[in-house]
Amino acid sequence: KERYRNSFMISTWLNLKRHYMIWWRDRRFIIANIIKNVVMGMSVGAVFWQTDSTSSIFGVLFQGTLFIMLGAMTSAPGQLLDRSIFYRHKDANFYPTFAYIIGRAFAMVPQSTTDIIVFGSILYWMVGLTANAGVFFIFIFVLVAFSLVMAQQLSIFASLVPTASALQGISSFLILLHMLFCGFIVSPDVIPDYYLWLYWWNPLAWTYRCLVVNEFTSSDWDNVETINGVTATTGEFALLSFGFTKDNEPYGKEWVGLAFAYLLPYLLICTFLVGIGLMFVRMEGAAGNPKNDDIIGQVDDATLEEETMTKTIDLPFTPVDLTFENISYEVKASKGGGTLKLLNNVSGKLASGRMCALMGSSGAGKTTLMDVIALRKTSGKVTGEVRLNGHLQEKKTFRRCSGYVEQFDVQSPELTVRETILFSAYLRLEPSIEDGNNNDKKDQFVDQIIEILELGPIINDIVGTDEAGGLSFEEKKRLSIAVELAASPSIIFLDEPTSGLDSRAALLVMRSLKRITDTGRTVCATIHQPSSAVFEMFNDLLLLKKGGEVVFFGELGHKSASLVSYFESNGGAEKLFGENPATWMLTVIGAGTSGDDSLDFAELYRSSESFKNLNKEIETAKTNPEDAKKITYDSEYARKYHDRNALMSKRLVTIYWRSPTYNLARIMISIVIAFLLGSVFLTQRKPSIYSETQLNSLFSTIFISFIIIGVMAQVSVLPVMLMIRDVFYRHRAAGMLNYGSLGRALGTAEKRFILLSSTLFCLVFYFTIGLNDGFKQFIGFWGFFTFNLAIYSYFGQAFMSCVRGMPTAAILCSVFIGINNLFSGLIVRPQYLDGFWSITYWICPGHYVFEGLIVTQFENDNTTVVAFPGSEFYYNLNCTDVQETPCEGTVDLYVDSFFGGKFKESHLLTNILVLGGFLIVSRLFTFWALKQFNYVST
């Protein structure tokens, strides 16, 4: 038989349609991307408006390719999510691997073409490049080809690495190779022989060469000039001055065609390698520990009863009887201007020492009701009242005396099971439990929880992730329950605690909940079509039908006898012997697969004795409630502000220390990058005479050093910050801490790795490249470099804090990185920024960093520099076109000429203060975003 249902061509076509549809339907991303392309295109175009400066044109063409590379880099982590979906499809024999790869590759064409047409067209015509249709379309086509090449090239590594942080580290290094050896940062004639192979391999070098040759061999640059006896066109002089030569002759038009001849086969090779990677390498998490699960599963009912008697939690709490009356909940309809009622006058009671199930068909409002009762809803209109022991519910009190276990809970993957539970206990238990600074009682309490929830065999296991491996789904469920139980709550809510579990694992979770109930705590759980064994472990049931109306509330009875009796006596079909009462009940009310909804069970319930008795109980609870049973707290949080800060900082430091794919990877990559950048000048360290291209390449290498390390820091912090932020949302909802504690902890945990990474990079780079040997000069270089790394890292945290997901955060990073690339002083030199665009120079942090790095090294440097005939420096030295002797100046004069007199030693103190201001802004931005936003669907 055939392995796949469809032919290879049909499978490829279906994958193409699927990926195109995913892109097309993500309108927010498309709109954000178009806005980004328009803004960046217009920004760059306006800065270089109708320029006739050759150095500016070289810079703008490089900026265009850099923008494409950074876009590919920031979007690459999304492929890790696609990869997990592909694995499922592959296991189910949906399609061949190469059908998926080829379909996805073709689906990228309209995406890349749209981006290039928007960004490239604006850039091309605003800058004033050659107004010729042929030259313009070559410009667009080569950028589209390069965009596809970059996407597929990074896809190779997305198929091979385990995490997004590792992918971003590799992507940063790969992009550095492209930038360093493309011909702009280090001129082609300066690249040492031992790195020339990188120049000829580099797809960016072929693209950039194509762009500059396409422009400077056009009709706009064909005026013939003679300088120092050399006759050539103005375009050829431009190519010569930037080292774009072959055998001492400028590159000709034939290199445009050669670029396409190289890029297209390269694209095919990358696509093939992506397929090979996905076919033979599988990066996914390890399963849970089956041995431990099997041991636990062998415990029989008799053992359970015996253990239930012996395993208790001795920490005091106030038992709670929670009543809710006439709860209604409305939201705005997605279409039209009306409202949609999700809950309709729901009443009920959750009693202490009992476990209540919330059930109903999909969309009946089970989770919605629980969220409303638990004060988890932040939108919509809620009416009705909730009381605890007869006293009205107060948000501050309720958050501290309750626990909420989400269906898909989020825990920090770097911590162990015990550390995760201890953190919750230390933050949420009353300080009065402690004996001074001794946490022994809390530790003992956590040990009791671990024993009751049968987490002992995995107590020291790392929580982990689905990608890298860790706890099983069922173990994470029990851990989530333990985290909430660590607060010693009076009432615990659980959303679908058995969903996604097999029958044995579901019974294990329910057994844990039964033990919690036996301590006198109130347990309420939503549950969807449980097995008979699971269903009969509940004491009470609240059953909803679509529209959020109650059709039954009351005690289940032994083997659900009370429930069955109620529905059979009200016209329900007779329950068959051995039939699951939960399934039968849903069928009776019309929520099952073959239900009959001819009877209005909501109306029948409102006229039943059960409803009348419930109302009496609610009214009794409201009348003269006992003050002794009122739960009150002196403050919103169990721990003092400085204690919360200390615990959160300690936790994040541990998380960072156990994140080798983030911190160790970026440190090691930084060292490799430092040596790579410095080694370009190993044979040219501290020459007695510089050529212009040598010194220009040295400036460019210093520029790229702080840019690429900053980019790597910013994009690699996004997935780490996303995980930390999502766990924080959970902690905030549970009343554990506020935004201030996390904001401070983020600064504490990140700064030590910033200092370490910066120090190691500077030690390797500084002395390999051969900069000034003075201690003062080294400290100056290190200081400005560290400022830069911190600013990039902390703004990355801020961006991830203020938007919902990584794609949007990546767009913000692209804009931030693009602005720093463009306005730091190399691609657009300060003297060419006039009018409005001079503002961008002064508000760009990269400008202050670059000025500091250059001035600390080259101020008052009297090393000789030989000017290139016809260059700006040549004419600034008052040299003539017919001069026979070489035109010479000094490094100090070249710095003044290159940066238009804008880079000065007198600016250094101001630069330090401004960079300190940027750091403060980035931190305040993060604090504000953590306080203001909550990207949880409620």
Q: How far is CA 522 from the centre of its chain?
A: 37
pLDDT at 592 over 70: no
Q: What is the pLDDT of residue 598?
A: 64
| pLDDT (tens digit per residue) in 234-259 | 888 888 888 887 877 788 888 999 99
Nearest-Å Rg of the Cα atoms of the chain is: 33
Contact by Cβ (8 Å): 43, 37: no
Kindly state the tokens that stand for 907. Answer: 């600016």
Return the bridge partners of 540, or none. 356, 555
Contact by Cβ (8 Å): 427, 736: yes
Q: Would you mind telling me the total number of residues written for the chain in this entry?
A: 938
User: Residue 188: which pLDDT band, with cuts at 50, 70 and 90?
Assistant: confident
Sheet holding 402-405, edge to edge: 402-405, 491-495, 522-526, 355-360, 540-545, 549-555
Please tell me the distance from the alpha carbon of residue 365 to that of residue 344, in angstroms, as a whole number: 10
Q: What is the pLDDT of residue 682?
A: 80
Q: Kindly compute the dihedral angle of the four CA atoms of residues 760, 763, 769, 770, in this order, to the nearest 10 degrees.
A: 170
User: Residue 288: which pLDDT band, with cuts at 50, 70 and 90?
Assistant: very low
For 382: left if phi > 0, alpha if psi spans -120 to 50, otherwise beta; the answer is beta
Q: What is the pLDDT of residue 554?
A: 95
Contact by Cβ (8 Å): 878, 251: no
Please tell me the distance from the alpha carbon of residue 131 to that of residue 139, in angstroms, as a whole number: 12
For tokens 């009877």, what's the residue?
599
Classify residue 626 by its DSSP letter: -
User: Beta strand 322-332 with 381-388: parallel, antiparallel or unpaired?
Assistant: antiparallel
Please tell me the distance from the alpha carbon of residue 36 to that of residue 178, in angstroms, as a whole number: 23
Contact by Cβ (8 Å): 595, 587: yes
> What contacts 24+ positions apart, CB below 8 Å, involve 33-37?
33/115, 33/811, 34/114, 34/118, 36/811, 36/814, 36/815, 37/115, 37/118, 37/119, 37/122
pLDDT at 304 over 70: no
Please tell me the distance from the alpha carbon of residue 555 to that of residue 349, in angstroms, as a whole number: 11
Kindly state the tokens that stand for 225. Answer: 């000039």
Hey, is 743 helix, strand or coil? helix
pLDDT above 90 covers a percentage of the chain that reads: 52
Three-state secondary structure string covering 217-267: CCHHHCCEEEECCEEEEHHHHHHHHCCCEECCEECCCHHHHHHHHHHHHHH
**Residue 100 phi, psi dihedral angles, 5° rounding:** -65, -45
pLDDT at 849 over 90: yes
Mean pLDDT (the chain) is 88
Q: Which domains does the chain have, with CATH numbers?
A: 1-198+269-281 (no CATH), 319-629 (3.40.50.300), 637-825+909-938 (no CATH)
Return the bridge partners of 368, or none. none
Contact by Cβ (8 Å): 110, 21: no
Return the closest-CA partner of residue 464 out of 746, 163, 731, 85. 163
Q: Kindly compute the dihedral angle of the four CA atoms of residues 219, 47, 705, 202, in this order, to the nearest 10 degrees.
A: -30
Q: What letter represents residue 341's amino acid?
A: K
Q: What letter represents residue 783's amino acid?
A: G
Please tell me the distance from the alpha carbon of residue 142 to that of residue 267, in angstroms, as a whole number: 12
User: Residue 594: which pLDDT band, with cuts at 50, 70 and 90?
Assistant: very low
User: Residue 527: which pLDDT band, with cuts at 50, 70 and 90?
Assistant: very high
User: Residue 418: which pLDDT band, with cuts at 50, 70 and 90?
Assistant: very high
Contact by Cβ (8 Å): 326, 332: no
Return the bridge partners of 493, or none. 404, 524
Write the CB contacts of 124 (distance below 8 Å, at least 6 apart in sequence). Answer: 136, 139, 140
Question: Looking at per-residue confidence, does 357 or 433 come out higher?
Answer: 357
pLDDT at 296 over 50: no
Segment 39-61 shows an average pLDDT of 86
Q: What is the pLDDT of residue 286?
A: 46
Segment 725-748 shows an average pLDDT of 94
Please tell me the distance from the alpha carbon of residue 116 to that of residue 204, in angstroms, as a whole number: 16
Contact by Cβ (8 Å): 868, 691: yes
